[in-house]
Amino acid sequence: MFADYSMGELTAIFAMQGFAGLILFSVFVLMALGLAIIFGQMGVINMAHGEFMILGAYVTYLVSNLFATYIPFAFSIYFFVAMALAFVVTGALGMFVEWAMIRHLYKRPLDTLLATWGLSLILQQIYRSVFGAREVGVSIPDWMMGSLPLTDLIEVPINGMFVMVLAVGISIAIYVLMFRSTWGKQVRAINQNRIMAGAVGINTEWTDRLTFGIGCGVAGVAGSAFTMIGSTGPTAGQLYIVDTFLVVVFGGAGSLLGTIASAFSISQAQSILEFFLSGSMAKVLTLLTVVGILMLRPQGLFALKLRK
């Protein structure tokens, strides 16, 4: 399969596909981080995670239209406003969902799965009614268009770079939140022993709600970032949910580092395979490998010591 290409072309292919893989990696990381918080720390399966992402994307879409119509001179920075707003809106919805639904189901994880699936159907239909069934795209500010030529064969798109930078930034922010803030300490304490955490004075109910909200808010930011590289439709969230769950489970639930490592390996494998096989076969092979490894090593790549 390599015979038709010269050495230089092969390097360029690997570099370009590797870079495409890095963008995919950033996307996976953004998607999976929110889920890693919710699933890894709280043990809640949120099947509506994809719809929260799409909500972030739609918020970005609305903000971009708003800026284009009313304050066109500030259009080049609308994205940062949109991202903050996406975080707030999806986070607030997440906290509401936790209050209305999830908190009653903490003892029944499988039922949470079904209930959040129902929520995802409702959200999809709402998006379809409000924004229409067609996919919408946002207009990207000028400075994000185009690409940087590295050599004459290798070019990197700027919006892809931007998504990568964003993924790194959010990963660091979450690391700081989880391991350097009071909230993070409380979340980890509750994860280890809920009753004792409550006994030492942590407001477990509020922490749960905040955690769920932050997880959903990160999903919203991820959705916001998506609008930079693709368009958004009402059912787009459902396409990502299986990938995202596999990324989190493959990395080892509860381990942020594991999530990032598994997002990296899955995305690189998929995008490099994609060049040589058809896209669907690349995906099948990657997913099969992941499922196969999970069957042999159910605790995932980076397993925390678990106690039942």
> What mask, x for binding another protein by CB under 8 A, covers residues 151 to 180?
------------------------------
CB-count burial class (<10 Å; 0-12, 13-18, 19+) for 161: middle
- Which helix (H) or strand (E) segment is 66 a member of? helix 49-70
How many chain residues are in contact with another protein, going by CB under 8 A? 44
The yes or no reply on residue 245 touching another protein (CB under 8 A) is yes
Pick 47 or 219: Cβ nearer another protein? 47
Distance CA 225, CA 21 (A): 16
Q: What x/- string results for residues 252 through 291 when contact with another protein is judged by CB under 8 A?
A: --------------------------xxxx-xx--xx-xx
Give 243-277 as a DSSP string. HHHHHHHHH-TT-HHHHHHHHHHHHHHHHHHHHHS
Please say which residue, 149 or 279, places its beta carbon nearer to another protein. 279
Q: How far is the CB of 129 from another protein (least distance, A)?
A: 6
Among 5, 9, 104, 199, interactor with another protein by CB under 8 A: 104
CB 152, min distance to another protein, A: 34
Please tell me the number of Cα atoms within 13 Å of 60 on its side-chain side: 32
Please tell me the distance from the alpha carbon of residue 277 to that of residue 268, in angstroms, as a whole number.
14
- Distances in Å between the alpha carbon of 305 and those of 195, 255, 308? 19, 11, 10
- Which residues in this chain contact another protein in the complex, by CB under 8 A? 43, 45, 101, 104-105, 108-115, 117-126, 128-129, 238, 242, 245-246, 249, 278-281, 283-284, 287-288, 290-291, 294-296, 298
